[in-house]
Structure 1
């Protein structure tokens, strides 16, 4: 699990946010997730689709979406993988910080362009979203590319060969998608 550099996320057609996560080229998902509904704080569980065993959990540290950090924890070891936190400058163009286990920022996930961001929000949500993942020094660590689908989200996460924990990048991207309801 999480040995690849390329992943695909497919949102299922259901009430609420439900996702399947695949390693590139795989026919079967290795994780599935459903966002818990009607909670004061966001709550996600990522399970093994074969066994139903919980592999990761994500919980918001506060009730307010705009100020929340979403902590990602390995359910088997109780190890903190990291967190996702919305940037203060994320109003028109989405931007999130990926924080490592120690709480230090290790990457930023930024929406691709101002123009497309405005068009997505003002004109139509059918324009696929796209994000760049950058290290603290501005190096490219990966990107997230949405694909056009009229009903549910489908996107690819490509990671560079070094520097970023794929668990943080992939699970963090799913959390961002669910928060933004892309």
Structure 2
């Protein structure tokens, strides 16, 4: 899918593929009936890497890079992640707010030319249960990202054996590659 067509999308589906040594995700457009439409990204994250680096490809052939994100520091609970395009040019940045995340997971996302967007778990009760009862980590959770009362986008984990998310984008100015990177990070990096 061309970048302009991707940028026009308002709903995406993210699904994790089960593998042993690599986290893999596929991202599709969500059709009006809720089904998977065309694939827009294929994502791989190596597990147990000293410095997180995740690459987003245009499809499973891994022939063309769509974007990627990489940790700024090797080991740091408050490390940020730079998001770059296929040519390595910056398109944004996100960071977990470690202190605020002790009770309710909170992230900050920046895209040049836009105010900082803050995302946090929608349901405070679910966030507390997930922290204190590890066996319930499969509970669906929802993140809302916005500035004040303006909702820029949301990521909702669905009930499923495998991790599945619906991403709804309300702000047309947001770079979809940055939104996809943040959605993947919520799954791949959330428990760290």
Name the TM-score, length of structure 2 as normaliser. 0.83
| 1:10-159 equivalences in 2 (<5 Å) | 10-15=15-20, 16-25=22-31, 26-49=36-59, 51-52=61-62, 53-75=64-86, 77-87=87-97, 88-101=99-112, 105-123=115-133, 124-135=136-147, 137-150=148-161, 152-159=162-169
Q: Secondary structure at the match of 1:174?
A: helix
Cα shift readout 1:120-168 (whole Å, capped 9, x = no counterpart): 2333022111111112x33111211111112x21010111143433222
Alpha-carbon distance in structure 2 between the residues aligned to 1:31 and 1:17: 14
Alpha-carbon distance in structure 2 between the residues aligned to 1:162 and 1:37: 33
Name the TM-score, length of structure 1 as normaliser. 0.87
Which residue of the partner structure matches residue 13 of structure 2? 8
Contact 1:106–1:164, Cα closer than 8 Å, also in 2: no
Contact 1:23–1:29, Cα closer than 8 Å, also in 2: yes
Alpha-carbon distance in structure 1 between the residues aligned to 2:105 and 2:170: 21
Q: Secondary structure at the match of 1:177?
A: helix
| TM superposition outliers: structure 1 runs of 4+ over 6 Å | none
Gaps of 5+ in 1: none
Q: 1:111 to 1:31 in 2, by over 3 A?
A: same
How many residues are paired up? Answer: 178
